[in-house]
Amino acid sequence: MVQGCTRNERRAQEALYRKFFPEMMRMCMRYTKDQTVAIEMVNNGFLRVFKKIHTFGFKGSLEGWVRKLVYHSMADYFRENARYMHFLMLEDYDQAVPERSHEQFYEEDILKAVRTLPPVSQEVFRLYAIEGYSHAEIAENMQMSEGTSKWHLSTARQKLRELLRPQYLYYNEAKG
């Protein structure tokens, strides 16, 4: 399939698209509730995949490589359309930071906070919360148990709540 895509064969491209479209669509829908926007992000990502397929080195999974390119396409979309910035979604059960408060933060504030996390927790958080990998996939890729992956995610969320809570309170006081 990859060689066919490299040769620009439409059937191979369609097969690759059909194989990975559902998962990439789910990943994009985690960041936007607008299905039209999600389809646009996925299609732009696949355009990027087909342009760069010749660089795929068979060193990791094809799905992971496609996911990375679609993710970058999604990030580009949000960067260009900053008013739709719902980039970091905190789960509904995270009670320490009230629901939807993340919309009041600037992307740079959130990314800066993420970069302060311990390296393994930062990576688990990025893979799970941003790129949409499951704990099973993370555990396999990082050679750890699923429980350890869940622990790192929980630790990352707790640390982010602690770091972002003062900013949240500041933004709410400023709003009056």
Q: CA–CA separation, 31 vs 88, rounded Å?
A: 8
pLDDT tens digits, one per residue of 4-43: 999 999 999 999 999 999 999 998 888 777 889 899 999 9
pLDDT surpasses 90 at 134: no
Residue identified by tokens 């979604």 is 89
Q: Where are the domains of the chain?
A: 2-84, 101-175
Residues 6+ apart with CB under 8 A from 92: 99
pLDDT value, residue 82 = 54
Tens of pLDDT, residue by residue over 50-96, are 999 999 888 888 998 999 999 888 888 877 765 444 444 443 333 34
Q: The domain at 2-84 falls in which architecture?
A: Orthogonal Bundle (1.10)
2-84 and 101-175, same CATH topology: no
The pLDDT mean for the chain works out to: 78
Q: Which of 4, 137, 119 is nearest to 67 (CA)?
A: 137
Q: What pTM value is reported for the model?
A: 0.49
CA angle 81, 87, 89 (to 5 degrees): 145
Give me the architecture of the 101-175 domain, per CATH.
Orthogonal Bundle (1.10)
Q: Would you state the pLDDT for residue 110?
A: 73
